[in-house]
Structure 1
Protein backbone atom coordinates (compact mmCIF):
# COMPACT_ATOMS: atom_id res chain seq x y z
CA UNK A 1 0.00 0.00 0.00
CA UNK A 2 1.46 3.33 -1.02
CA UNK A 3 0.50 6.61 0.59
CA UNK A 4 0.43 9.62 -1.65
CA UNK A 5 1.30 13.03 -0.23
CA UNK A 6 -1.58 15.51 0.00
CA UNK A 7 -2.17 17.63 -3.05
CA UNK A 8 -1.56 21.31 -2.24
CA UNK A 9 -4.37 23.74 -2.97
CA UNK A 10 -3.68 26.42 -5.55
CA UNK A 11 -2.96 29.82 -4.03
CA UNK A 12 -6.28 31.20 -5.28
CA UNK A 13 -8.32 28.69 -3.24
CA UNK A 14 -6.36 29.04 0.02
CA UNK A 15 -7.99 30.97 2.79
CA UNK A 16 -6.76 34.52 2.99
CA UNK A 17 -4.99 35.43 6.20
CA UNK A 18 -6.89 37.70 8.52
CA UNK A 19 -5.56 40.55 10.59
CA UNK A 20 -6.26 40.17 14.31
CA UNK A 21 -5.37 41.75 17.62
CA UNK A 22 -2.75 39.94 19.70
CA UNK A 23 -3.09 39.30 23.44
CA UNK A 24 -1.29 42.51 24.53
CA UNK A 25 -3.36 44.66 22.20
CA UNK A 26 -6.61 43.11 23.40
CA UNK A 27 -5.53 43.55 27.03
CA UNK A 28 -4.98 47.28 26.51
CA UNK A 29 -8.29 47.69 24.67
CA UNK A 30 -10.31 45.62 27.15
CA UNK A 31 -8.80 47.44 30.15
CA UNK A 32 -10.09 50.74 28.75
CA UNK A 33 -13.39 49.11 27.78
CA UNK A 34 -13.86 47.73 31.30
CA UNK A 35 -13.31 51.14 32.89
CA UNK A 36 -15.83 52.75 30.55
CA UNK A 37 -18.42 50.01 31.18
CA UNK A 38 -17.97 50.53 34.93
CA UNK A 39 -18.70 54.23 34.40
CA UNK A 40 -21.84 53.34 32.43
CA UNK A 41 -20.60 54.93 29.20
CA UNK A 42 -20.26 51.85 27.01
CA UNK A 43 -22.38 48.72 26.95
CA UNK A 44 -21.32 46.42 24.12
CA UNK A 45 -18.49 45.70 21.70
CA UNK A 46 -17.80 43.73 18.56
CA UNK A 47 -14.60 42.41 17.02
CA UNK A 48 -14.11 41.91 13.28
CA UNK A 49 -11.02 40.25 11.82
CA UNK A 50 -10.82 41.09 8.14
CA UNK A 51 -8.21 40.64 5.44
CA UNK A 52 -7.02 44.26 5.59
CA UNK A 53 -7.82 45.22 9.18
CA UNK A 54 -8.90 44.12 12.64
CA UNK A 55 -11.66 46.28 14.11
CA UNK A 56 -12.84 46.60 17.72
CA UNK A 57 -16.20 48.43 17.65
CA UNK A 58 -17.59 50.08 20.79
CA UNK A 59 -21.32 50.62 21.27
CA UNK A 60 -23.41 52.58 23.75
CA UNK A 61 -26.36 50.30 22.97
CA UNK A 62 -26.34 47.06 21.02
CA UNK A 63 -28.62 48.17 18.18
CA UNK A 64 -26.73 51.37 17.38
CA UNK A 65 -23.86 52.26 15.12
CA UNK A 66 -20.54 52.11 16.95
CA UNK A 67 -19.47 55.14 18.98
CA UNK A 68 -15.82 54.38 18.24
CA UNK A 69 -13.81 51.92 16.20
CA UNK A 70 -10.29 50.91 17.10
CA UNK A 71 -8.61 49.67 13.93
CA UNK A 72 -5.38 47.83 13.30
CA UNK A 73 -4.17 48.12 9.70
CA UNK A 74 -0.72 46.53 9.22
CA UNK A 75 -0.34 48.01 5.72
CA UNK A 76 -0.11 51.50 7.27
CA UNK A 77 2.86 50.48 9.45
CA UNK A 78 5.33 52.58 7.48
CA UNK A 79 3.03 55.55 7.01
CA UNK A 80 0.63 57.09 9.53
CA UNK A 81 0.64 54.22 12.00
CA UNK A 82 -0.85 50.80 12.36
CA UNK A 83 -3.56 51.83 14.90
CA UNK A 84 -6.40 54.32 14.60
CA UNK A 85 -9.37 55.43 16.69
CA UNK A 86 -12.27 56.44 14.49
CA UNK A 87 -15.35 58.32 15.70
CA UNK A 88 -19.00 57.70 14.95
CA UNK A 89 -19.04 59.98 11.93
CA UNK A 90 -15.92 58.38 10.41
CA UNK A 91 -13.47 61.05 11.60
CA UNK A 92 -10.03 59.82 12.62
CA UNK A 93 -9.55 60.92 16.23
CA UNK A 94 -6.00 59.64 16.56
CA UNK A 95 -3.58 57.50 14.58
CA UNK A 96 -0.18 56.12 15.51
CA UNK A 97 2.25 53.28 16.01
CA UNK A 98 1.76 52.87 19.79
CA UNK A 99 -1.64 51.47 20.84
CA UNK A 100 -1.68 52.83 24.44
CA UNK A 101 -0.86 56.31 23.12
CA UNK A 102 -3.63 56.06 20.52
CA UNK A 103 -6.15 54.88 23.14
CA UNK A 104 -5.45 57.93 25.32
CA UNK A 105 -7.79 59.96 23.11
CA UNK A 106 -10.66 57.84 24.49
CA UNK A 107 -9.45 58.12 28.09
CA UNK A 108 -9.63 61.89 27.84
CA UNK A 109 -13.31 61.49 26.97
CA UNK A 110 -13.84 60.11 30.51
CA UNK A 111 -13.03 63.41 32.18
CA UNK A 112 -16.14 65.53 32.70
CA UNK A 113 -16.93 68.54 34.79
CA UNK A 114 -19.33 68.02 37.67
CA UNK A 115 -22.03 70.68 37.88
Structure 2
Protein backbone atom coordinates (compact mmCIF):
# COMPACT_ATOMS: atom_id res chain seq x y z
CA UNK A 1 0.00 0.00 0.00
CA UNK A 2 2.13 2.83 -1.29
CA UNK A 3 -0.22 5.59 -0.21
CA UNK A 4 -0.36 4.41 3.39
CA UNK A 5 3.36 3.91 3.79
CA UNK A 6 4.10 7.27 2.18
CA UNK A 7 1.88 8.99 4.71
CA UNK A 8 3.18 6.87 7.54
CA UNK A 9 -0.21 5.51 8.54
CA UNK A 10 0.90 1.88 8.14
CA UNK A 11 4.43 0.65 8.78
CA UNK A 12 4.89 -1.72 5.82
CA UNK A 13 4.00 -2.25 2.17
CA UNK A 14 3.74 -6.03 2.60
CA UNK A 15 0.20 -6.40 3.90
CA UNK A 16 -3.07 -4.77 2.95
CA UNK A 17 -4.64 -6.26 6.07
CA UNK A 18 -3.33 -3.29 8.07
CA UNK A 19 -5.54 -0.98 6.01
CA UNK A 20 -8.59 -2.43 7.76
CA UNK A 21 -7.35 -0.89 11.00
CA UNK A 22 -7.10 2.66 9.62
CA UNK A 23 -9.47 5.18 11.14
CA UNK A 24 -10.53 8.67 10.21
CA UNK A 25 -8.43 10.06 13.06
CA UNK A 26 -5.33 8.57 11.43
CA UNK A 27 -5.82 10.89 8.47
CA UNK A 28 -6.95 13.80 10.67
CA UNK A 29 -3.55 13.75 12.37
CA UNK A 30 -1.94 14.48 9.00
CA UNK A 31 -4.04 17.54 8.18
CA UNK A 32 -1.85 20.62 7.90
CA UNK A 33 -3.78 22.50 10.58
CA UNK A 34 -3.18 19.65 13.05
CA UNK A 35 0.49 19.44 12.09
CA UNK A 36 0.89 23.19 12.79
CA UNK A 37 -0.39 22.70 16.32
CA UNK A 38 1.92 19.70 16.84
CA UNK A 39 4.90 21.71 15.58
CA UNK A 40 3.98 24.66 17.85
CA UNK A 41 3.30 27.07 14.98
CA UNK A 42 -0.13 27.67 16.49
CA UNK A 43 -1.65 27.13 19.90
CA UNK A 44 -5.08 25.99 18.70
CA UNK A 45 -6.57 24.45 15.55
CA UNK A 46 -8.69 27.53 14.86
CA UNK A 47 -5.58 29.72 14.91
CA UNK A 48 -3.75 27.26 12.61
CA UNK A 49 -6.63 27.34 10.12
CA UNK A 50 -6.52 31.15 10.05
CA UNK A 51 -2.75 31.15 9.40
CA UNK A 52 -3.18 28.70 6.53
CA UNK A 53 -6.15 30.45 4.94
CA UNK A 54 -4.35 33.81 5.07
CA UNK A 55 -1.34 32.34 3.25
CA UNK A 56 1.24 32.43 6.07
CA UNK A 57 2.31 28.78 5.71
CA UNK A 58 4.22 26.94 3.04
CA UNK A 59 5.13 23.29 2.61
CA UNK A 60 8.37 23.02 0.72
CA UNK A 61 8.20 25.70 -1.98
CA UNK A 62 4.38 25.75 -2.16
CA UNK A 63 2.24 28.23 -0.22
CA UNK A 64 -0.76 26.30 1.08
CA UNK A 65 -4.12 27.98 1.68
CA UNK A 66 -6.21 24.83 2.24
CA UNK A 67 -6.35 23.82 5.93
CA UNK A 68 -7.25 20.22 5.08
CA UNK A 69 -4.08 19.76 3.01
CA UNK A 70 -2.62 16.37 3.98
CA UNK A 71 0.97 16.69 5.14
CA UNK A 72 2.90 13.46 4.78
CA UNK A 73 5.61 12.50 7.22
CA UNK A 74 8.13 13.24 4.49
CA UNK A 75 7.04 16.85 4.06
CA UNK A 76 6.23 17.71 7.70
CA UNK A 77 9.84 18.77 8.16
CA UNK A 78 9.43 21.29 5.32
CA UNK A 79 6.51 23.16 6.93
CA UNK A 80 7.56 26.76 7.50
CA UNK A 81 6.39 30.36 7.42
CA UNK A 82 6.16 32.19 4.10
CA UNK A 83 9.11 34.61 3.85
CA UNK A 84 6.85 37.67 3.64
CA UNK A 85 4.71 36.64 6.64
CA UNK A 86 4.26 39.27 9.34
CA UNK A 87 3.80 36.45 11.85
CA UNK A 88 7.23 35.05 10.94
CA UNK A 89 8.73 38.49 11.57
CA UNK A 90 7.00 38.72 14.97
CA UNK A 91 8.21 35.24 15.98
CA UNK A 92 11.78 36.07 15.00
CA UNK A 93 11.56 39.41 16.80
CA UNK A 94 10.17 37.73 19.92
CA UNK A 95 13.06 35.26 19.91
CA UNK A 96 15.58 38.14 19.52
CA UNK A 97 16.85 36.76 16.21
CA UNK A 98 15.83 39.67 13.98
CA UNK A 99 18.85 41.45 12.53
CA UNK A 100 19.05 44.99 11.12
CA UNK A 101 18.68 43.84 7.50
CA UNK A 102 15.41 42.04 8.31
CA UNK A 103 14.08 45.08 10.17
CA UNK A 104 14.55 47.30 7.10
CA UNK A 105 12.34 45.08 4.90
Give yes or no for TM over 0.5: no
More strand per residue: 1 or 2?
Answer: 1
Larger helix share, 1 or 2: 2
Q: Which has the higher contact order (CA 8 A, sep 6+)?
A: 2
Radius of gyration: which is bigger?
1
TM-score, structure 1 as length reference: 0.27
